[in-house]
């Protein structure tokens, strides 16, 4: 199973600023995903990040607000831009081991609070 780390684990940011969240995997993976989990809610998929191509965003999420980088097969970043209090959430990355199952491994999450 893949081991995933995220940085930072939590942050408090002022509105209007941006935060970049890092996701590091201990093995090479093809597919990486970014999710948002608002307080007390379920997870919502933001985008799929594949190495060597542009990220694919889900409905309601745009690249200008959530730019994603995927420079190699073990690393990805998600930036939350021009933050507002509504962006206060836990952001999680996950990876697909590529075994054609629905078994994904999740990072511990980044808890973001925007004041």
Partner 1 sequence: LAKTTQPISMDSYEGQEVNITCSHNNIATNDYITWYQQFPSQGPRFIIQGYKTKVTNEVASLFIPADRKSSTLSLPRVSLSDTAVYYCLVGGYNQGGKLIFGQGTELSVKP
CB-facing half-sphere around the CA of 89: CA atoms within 13 A = 20
Binding of residue 94 to partner 1 (CB under 8 A): yes
Binding of residue 2 to partner 1 (CB under 8 A): no
State phi, psi for 57 to the nearest 5 degrees.
-100, 145
With CB under 8 A as the contact rule, the residue among 2, 65, 75, 105 that binds partner 1 is: 105
Determine the interface stretch with partner 1 among 14-22, 64-72, 73-81, 95-103 (rule: CB under 8 A): 95-103
With CB under 8 A as the contact rule, the residue among 2, 11, 24, 31 that binds partner 1 is: 31
d(CA 28, CA 30): 7
Binding of residue 108 to partner 1 (CB under 8 A): yes
Coil, strand or helix: which one is 111?
strand
């Amino acid at each position: 199973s893949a081991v995933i780390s995220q940085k930072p684990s939590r942050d408090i940011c002022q509105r209007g600023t941006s935060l970049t969240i890092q996701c590091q995997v201990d093995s090479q993976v093809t597919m990486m995903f970014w999710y948002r989990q608002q307080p007390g809610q379920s997870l919502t998929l933001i985008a799929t990040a594949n190495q060597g191509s542009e990220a694919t965003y889900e409905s309601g999420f745009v690249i200008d607000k959530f730019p994603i980088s995927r420079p190699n097969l073990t690393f990805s970043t998600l930036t939350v831009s021009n933050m507002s209090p509504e962006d206060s959430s836990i952001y999680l990355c996950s990876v697909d081991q590529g075994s054609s199952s629905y078994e994904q491994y999740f990072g511990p999450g980044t808890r973001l609070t925007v004041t």
